[in-house]
Amino acid sequence: MSKVLPKRSDDYSLWYNELVKRADLAENAPVRGCMIIKPYGYSIWEKMQAVLDKMFKETGHSNAYFPLFIPKSYLSKEASHIDGFAKECAVVTHYRLKNDENGKGIIVDPEAKLDEELIVRPTSETVIWNTYKTWIQSHRDLPLLINQWANVVRWEMRTRLFLRTTEFLWQEGHTAHATKQEAIVETEQMMNVYATFAQNFMALPVHRGIKSANERFAGAEETYCIEALMQDGKALQAGTSHFLGQNFAKAFDVKFASKEGSLEYVWGTSWGVSTRLMGALIMAHSDDEGLVLPPLLAPIQVVIVPIFKTAEQLDLIEATLKPILAALKAKDISVKFDHSDKYSPGFKFAEYELKGVPLRVAIGARDIENGTVELARRDTKEKTTVPQEGLADTIEKLLQEIQENIYKKAFAYREANTFVADDYTTFKTMLDETPGFILAHWDGTPETEEKIKEETKATIRCIPLDVTSEPGICMVTGKPSAQRVLFARAY
Amino acid sequence: MSKVLPKRSDDYSLWYNELVKRADLAENAPVRGCMIIKPYGYSIWEKMQAVLDKMFKETGHSNAYFPLFIPKSYLSKEASHIDGFAKECAVVTHYRLKNDENGKGIIVDPEAKLDEELIVRPTSETVIWNTYKTWIQSHRDLPLLINQWANVVRWEMRTRLFLRTTEFLWQEGHTAHATKQEAIVETEQMMNVYATFAQNFMALPVHRGIKSANERFAGAEETYCIEALMQDGKALQAGTSHFLGQNFAKAFDVKFASKEGSLEYVWGTSWGVSTRLMGALIMAHSDDEGLVLPPLLAPIQVVIVPIFKTAEQLDLIEATLKPILAALKAKDISVKFDHSDKYSPGFKFAEYELKGVPLRVAIGARDIENGTVELARRDTKEKTTVPQEGLADTIEKLLQEIQENIYKKAFAYREANTFVADDYTTFKTMLDETPGFILAHWDGTPETEEKIKEETKATIRCIPLDVTSEPGICMVTGKPSAQRVLFARAY
Ligand SMILES: [Zn+2]
Ligand SMILES: [Zn+2]
Q: What is the pLDDT of residue B202?
A: 98
Mean pLDDT along residues A276-297: 98
Tell me if A42 and B31 make a contact (CB, 8 A cut-off): no
Mean pLDDT along residues B368-372: 96
d(CA A189, CA A94): 42
- Looking at the fold, whether B281 and B355 belong to one and the same domain comes out as no
CB contacts < 8 A (A, B):
178
Taking 70 as the threshold, does the pLDDT of residue A99 lie above it? yes
Asked which of A263-267, A458-462, B94-98 is least confident by mean pLDDT, the reply is B94-98
Q: pLDDT tens digits for A316-353?
A: 999 999 999 999 999 999 999 999 988 999 999 999 99
- Looking at the fold, whether B323 and B390 belong to one and the same domain comes out as yes
Q: B393, exposed or middle or buried, with CB in 10 Å at 0-12, 13-18, 19+? A: exposed
Contact indicator for B470, B439 with CB cutoff of 8 Å:
no
Q: Which residues of A touch B155 (CB under 8 A)?
A: 95-96
- Looking at the fold, whether A181 and A140 belong to one and the same domain comes out as yes
Q: pLDDT tens digits for B182-238?
A: 999 999 999 999 999 999 999 999 999 999 998 898 889 999 999 999 999 999 999
Cα distance from N-terminal residue to C-terminal residue, chain A: 29
> Per this entry, what is the length of chain B?
491
Taking 90 as the threshold, does the pLDDT of residue A121 lie above it? yes
CA of B89 to the centre of ligand 2 (A): 34
Tell me if B91 and A108 make a contact (CB, 8 A cut-off): yes
- Looking at the fold, whether A453 and A323 belong to one and the same domain comes out as no
- pLDDT band per the 50, 70, 90 thresholds, residue A86: low
Q: What is the pLDDT of residue B86?
A: 67
CA contacts within 13 A on the Cβ side of B252 = 26
Q: What is the pLDDT of residue B108?
A: 93
Q: pLDDT tens digits for B306-361?
A: 999 999 999 999 999 999 999 999 999 999 999 988 899 999 999 999 999 999 99
The residue out of B285, B311, B332 marking a domain boundary is: B285
Taking 70 as the threshold, does the pLDDT of residue A117 lie above it? yes
CATH of the domain at A204: 3.30.930.10
DSSP state of A122: S
CA of B20 to the centre of ligand 2 (A): 28
Ligand nearest to the Cα of A205, by number: 1
Task: Report CA-CA distances (Å) from B213 to B86, B210, B222.
Answer: 19, 9, 8
CA B374 to chain A, closest CA, distance in angstroms equals 28
Q: Alpha-carbon Rg of chain B, whole angstroms? A: 26
Tell me if B64 and A29 make a contact (CB, 8 A cut-off): no
Cα distance from N-terminal residue to C-terminal residue, chain B: 29
Asked which of A37-41, A68-72, A83-87, B254-258 is least confident by mean pLDDT, the reply is A83-87
Residue B116: inside a domain, yes or no? no
Residue A110 burial (CB count, 10 A): 9
Mean pLDDT along residues A302-310: 96
Q: pLDDT tens digits for A30-47?
A: 998 999 999 999 999 999
CA A282 to chain B, closest CA, distance in angstroms equals 18
Mean pLDDT along residues A151-161: 94
- Looking at the fold, whether B189 and B249 belong to one and the same domain comes out as yes
- Looking at the fold, whether B393 and B438 belong to one and the same domain comes out as no
Taking 60 as the threshold, does the pLDDT of residue B1 lie above it? no
The residue out of B258, B285, B312 marking a domain boundary is: B285
- pLDDT band per the 50, 70, 90 thresholds, residue B37: very high
Mean pLDDT along residues A144-162: 96
d(CA A432, CA A412): 21
CA B108 to chain A, closest CA, distance in angstroms equals 8
Q: pLDDT tens digits for A344-399?
A: 999 999 999 999 999 999 999 999 999 999 999 999 999 999 999 999 999 999 99
CA A437 to chain B, closest CA, distance in angstroms equals 34
Q: Which residues of A touch B65 (CB under 8 A)?
A: 36-37, 42, 45, 169
d(CA A220, CA A85): 13
Residue B480: inside a domain, yes or no? yes
Contact indicator for B314, B340 with CB cutoff of 8 Å:
no
- Looking at the fold, whether B438 and B371 belong to one and the same domain comes out as no
CA angle A111, A117, A123 (to 5 degrees): 150
Residue A4: inside a domain, yes or no? no
Q: What are phi and psi of B214, to 5 degrees?
A: -60, -30
The residue out of A331, A365, A399 marking a domain boundary is: A399
Count of domains for chain B: 3
Q: A407 in helix, strand or coil?
A: helix
- Looking at the fold, whether A26 and A173 belong to one and the same domain comes out as yes
Q: Which residues of A touch B136 (CB under 8 A)?
A: none
- Looking at the fold, whether B247 and B327 belong to one and the same domain comes out as no
Q: Which of A65, A51, A63, A295 is nearest to A193 (CA)?
A: A51
Contact indicator for B381, B373 with CB cutoff of 8 Å:
no
Which DSSP helix (H) or strand (E) runs through B58? helix B39-58
Q: pLDDT tens digits for B127-169?
A: 999 999 999 999 999 999 999 999 999 998 899 999 999 999 9
Contact indicator for A19, A163 with CB cutoff of 8 Å:
no
Protein residues placing their CB within 5 Å of the ion ligand 2: B 207, 466
Which residues sit opposite B48 in a β-bridge?
Answer: none
Chain B residue whose CA is closest to A45: B64
Tell me if B92 and A91 make a contact (CB, 8 A cut-off): yes
- pLDDT band per the 50, 70, 90 thresholds, residue A281: very high
Chain B residue whose CA is closest to A106: B76
Instruction: Nearest by CB to B34, from A64, A69, A97: name it.
Output: A69
Measure CA A210 to chain center: 18
CA B29 to chain A, closest CA, distance in angstroms equals 7
**Ordered DSSP codes for A417-481:** TEEE-SSHHHHHHHHHHS-SEEEEE--S-HHHHHHHHHHHS-EEEEEESS-----EE-TTT--EE
Q: Which of A78, A90, A85 is nearest to A130 (CA)?
A: A78
- The two beta strands, A302-306 and A359-363, are parallel
Mean pLDDT along residues A423-452: 97
Q: B315 in helix, strand or coil?
A: helix
CATH of the domain at B394: 3.40.50.800
- Looking at the fold, whether A148 and A238 belong to one and the same domain comes out as yes
Tell me if B91 and A95 make a contact (CB, 8 A cut-off): yes
Residue B2: inside a domain, yes or no? no
CA of A463 to the centre of ligand 1 (A): 10
Residue B129: inside a domain, yes or no? no
Q: What is the pLDDT of residue B106?
A: 86
CATH of the domain at A444: 3.30.110.30
Residue A73: inside a domain, yes or no? no
Helices (H), A287-364: 311-330, 345-354
- pLDDT band per the 50, 70, 90 thresholds, residue A62: very high
- Looking at the fold, whether B42 and B170 belong to one and the same domain comes out as yes
Write down the pTM of the prediction. 0.96
d(CA B412, CA B406): 10
Residue A417: inside a domain, yes or no? no
- Looking at the fold, whether B274 and B325 belong to one and the same domain comes out as no
Cis bond leading into B71, ω under 30°? no
Per-residue b/e over B187-206, b at no fewer than 16 CB within 10 Å?
Answer: bbbbbbbbbebbbebbbbbb
Q: Which residues of A touch B43 (CB under 8 A)?
A: 62-63
d(CA A387, CA A371): 6
CA of B464 to the centre of ligand 2 (A): 7
* Residue among A91, A141, A146, A154 with most chain B CBs within 10 A, to mutate: A91
Q: What is the pLDDT of residue A102?
A: 78
Taking 70 as the threshold, does the pLDDT of residue A1 lie above it? no
| Structural domain containing residue B194 | 12-65+134-285
Work out the mean pLDDT of chain A and round it to a whole number.
95
Instruction: Nearest by CB to A31, from B75, B118, B153: name it.
Output: B118
Contact indicator for A138, A149 with CB cutoff of 8 Å:
no
Measure CA A129 to chain center: 25
Instruction: Nearest by CB to B29, from A67, A73, A155: name it.
Output: A67
Q: Cβ contacts of residue B276 below 8 Å, gap of 6+?
A: B162, B163, B164, B168, B236, B238
Residue B124: inside a domain, yes or no? no
Mean pLDDT along residues A118-147: 97
